[in-house]
């Protein structure tokens, strides 16, 4: 078994309104920054033991499917790195 | 008929719901989620509040607690299930109903009276009204914007699964009468069976005559007609 960190990033599907991101963008613009768009996402870093990187990735994906993301509104991706 | 009102850590509309149901002569008891459902439940209410601190997403944790597996099973057997506010969020998160309730368009918590148009009057939850009736009812939520992909929403509408839409006092729906940015002004939907429904507004807060309007009584009476 090897120690991995699986990073699960959960973001709203394209086209789903994100009022918090819009509010954040407006606040940045009020500070004088110029930007075209801003998207927010949730990132979960999961430390786990697995036989391989693929096995770690699979388990983290299942975590996303079953809890971390809501498939109605979210897409997610998983990246795995050895600890 | 005894309605089991499920109390999660952070539920805070459970006692209001109990009083409202009792006012309508419908027996109700509060059930702590860890105790599980009573045997042969005859009605289930998921009340409002902030279960598990609404961490991750409103309703996400509660939807995956063991008692919700029992609720899904009971719902599939035809036991009437009503989710209100946080209970509606839990209902969608657990798959009892489709779609998701997410951050209001305003990005703010909103607590105000709104109007709903009754979209059909042949479900238990709307049988006390006529189609097209307008009822006055409060909302109190930060994550009440109904979201679902357009194709799926079209299917739900074709199936007549939308039972309440936000509107003005004359029953007109549109962007100006949409408090939270819900798609197509959706405020409440039914699940696979008409006996399962969720809505963001609070019928239990407009049931007792001594606190104001009583337009919400008809929704709660659904437990008797289901």
**Min Cα separation B203/chain A (Å):** 26
Q: Look up the CATH architecture of domain B2-225.
A: 3-Layer(aba) Sandwich (3.40)
Give backbone dihedrals phi and psi of B125, rounded to 5 degrees, phi first.
-80, -15
For residue B165, pLDDT beyond 90: yes
Q: Using one digit for the tens of pLDDT, what is the confidence trace for B61-86?
A: 999 999 999 999 999 999 999 999 99
Percent of chain B predicted with pLDDT > 90: 98
What CATH number is attached to the domain comprising A7? 3.30.1280.10
Report pLDDT for B125: 98
Residues of B in contact with A72 (CB under 8 A): 92, 98-100, 147-149
Report pLDDT for B225: 87
Domain boundary assignment for chain B: 2-225
So what's the ipTM on this one? 0.90
Q: Using one digit for the tens of pLDDT, what is the confidence trace for A10-52?
A: 999 999 999 999 999 999 999 999 999 999 999 999 999 999 9
Report pLDDT for B211: 87
Residues of B in contact with A73 (CB under 8 A): 100, 102, 147
Q: Using an 8 Å Cβ cutoff, are B203 and B87 in contact?
A: no
**Min Cα separation B62/chain A (Å):** 11
| A75 Cβ under 8 Å from any chain B Cβ | no
Closest CA to B33 of B92, B86, B76: B86
Q: How many CB atoms lie within 10 A of CB B66?
A: 9
Q: For the residues B20-46, what does the mean pLDDT come to?
A: 97
Structural domain total, chain A: 1
> Whole domain around residue A30: which residue ranges?
2-82
Distance CA A60, CA B168 (A): 46
Q: For the residues A48-66, what does the mean pLDDT come to?
A: 98
Write the DSSP string, chain A. Answer: -EEEEEEEEEEEPTT---HHHHHHHHHHHHTT---S----EEEEEEEEEESSHHHHHHHHHHHIIIII--TTTEEEEEEEEE-
């Amino acid at each position: 078994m090897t120690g991995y960190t699986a990073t699960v990033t959960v973001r709203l599907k394209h086209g789903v309104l994100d009022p918090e991101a819009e509010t954040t963008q407006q606040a940045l613009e009020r500070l004088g920054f110029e930007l075209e768009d801003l998207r927010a996402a949730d990132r979960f870093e999961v430390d786990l033991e697995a036989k391989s990187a693929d096995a770690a990735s699979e388990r983290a994906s299942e975590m996303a499917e079953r809890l971390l993301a809501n498939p109605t509104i979210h897409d997610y991706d998983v990246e795995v790195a050895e600890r | 008929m005894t309605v089991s009102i499920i109390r999660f850590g952070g539920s805070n509309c459970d006692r209001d719901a109990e009083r409202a149901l009792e006012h309508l002569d419908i027996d109700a008891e509060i059930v702590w989620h860890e105790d599980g459902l009573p045997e042969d439940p005859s009605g289930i209410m998921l009340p409002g509040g902030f279960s598990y601190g609404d961490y991750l997403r409103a309703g996400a944790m509660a939807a995956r607690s063991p008692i919700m597996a029992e609720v899904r099973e009971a719902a599939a057997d035809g036991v009437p299930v009503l989710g209100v506010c946080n209970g509606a969020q839990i209902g969608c998160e657990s798959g009892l109903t489709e779609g998701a309730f997410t951050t209001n368009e305003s990005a703010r918590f909103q607590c105000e009276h709104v109007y709903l148009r009754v979209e059909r009057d042949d479900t238990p939850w709307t049988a006390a009204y006529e189609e097209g009736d307008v009822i006055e009812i409060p909302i109190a939520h930060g994550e009440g914007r109904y979201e679902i992909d357009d194709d799926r929403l079209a299917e739900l509408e074709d199936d007549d699964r939308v039972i309440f839409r936000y509107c003005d006092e004359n029953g007109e729906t549109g962007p100006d009468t949409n408090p939270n940015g819900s798609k197509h002004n959706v405020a409440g939907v039914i699940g696979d069976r008409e006996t399962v429904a969720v809505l963001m507004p609070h019928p239990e807060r407009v049931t007792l005559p001594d606190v104001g309007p009583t337009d919400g009584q008809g929704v709660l009476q659904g437990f008797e007609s289901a």
